[in-house]
Amino acid sequence: MAQFTQKAIIETFMRLLEQKPLDKITVKDIIEECEISRGTFYYYYQDIPSLVDEIFKTEAQRFIEDDVRYESWQDGFLRSTKFALNNKKIIYHIYNSVNREDLERYLYRVTGKFMLDFINIRSEGLHVPEEHKKFAAMFFKCAIVGITLEWIGNGMKDDPQPYISMLQQLFEDNIIQTLFHNSSPDTKKI
């Protein structure tokens, strides 16, 4: 019963967020729509920002726990933007609210995962120190998240595919060069 109630709160909140900006949604709106008591809402969530945070944490965890190893950063990018594309109004309303930080944390978390997967695959056969791999993943993660936030800020009107194509041109050679440059000398003969 508890999971059902919590799921109903989330679904109701998401429906409301489709209809109006986040700062126009109140706990009262949610409890009336769900037909639950105020105490029941507060049993699960401290406030609306904690509800938003929970939604992004759950979605990020689902993405990370997917046992997918991203052979290309493009696949990871498309998978991570799927949630945004399926929930455009919701994402746009959160982007334009005080809870934008939750959205950014979500993007950094999932982008970090698929970039590190990709960097690890590309560095196979090279002896690249972990700190260099992590730094490269962080650098490219920041670029992708920055561009994604721009795309969201512009209303997600454009298809993300052209962004991916342009990023691919910038990233591919740079990633391989960075890994090769930071590998130990004996592997550069490969």
Higher pLDDT, 179 or 135: 135
Here the tokens at position 146 are 């920055």
DSSP per position, 2-34: HHHHHHHHHHHHHHHHHHS-GGG--HHHHHHHH
The pLDDT of residue 1 is 57
Here the tokens at position 151 are 């795309």
Q: Percentage of the chain surpassing pLDDT 90?
A: 34
Q: With 80 as the cut, is the pLDDT of residue 172 above it?
A: no
Measure the CA–CA gap between 88 and 51, rounded to whole angstroms. Answer: 18
Superfamily (CATH H level) for 57-187: Tetracycline Repressor, domain 2 (1.10.357.10)
Average model confidence (pLDDT) for the chain?
Answer: 85
Q: How confident is the model at residue 158 (pLDDT cuts 50, 70, 90)?
A: confident
Higher pLDDT, 183 or 28: 28
- Domain residue extents for the chain: 1-45, 57-187
Q: What is the pLDDT of residues 110-129, one digit of tens each?
A: 889 888 888 888 888 888 88
Q: 50 φ, ψ to 5°? A: -70, -30
Tokens 């592997």 -> residue: 187
3-state helix, strand, coil in the chain (%, to 5): 75, 0, 25
What pTM does this model have? 0.78
DSSP per position, 124-168: TTS---HHHHHHHHHHHHHHHHHHHHHHHHTTT-S-SHHHHHHHH
The pLDDT of residue 7 is 92
Fold of the 1-45 domain: Arc Repressor Mutant, subunit A (1.10.10)
Tell me, rounded to whole angstroms, the distance of Cα 147 from its chain centroid.
13
Q: What is the pLDDT of residues 32-50, one digit of tens each?
A: 999 999 999 999 999 999 9
Q: With 70 as the cut, is the pLDDT of residue 139 above it?
A: yes
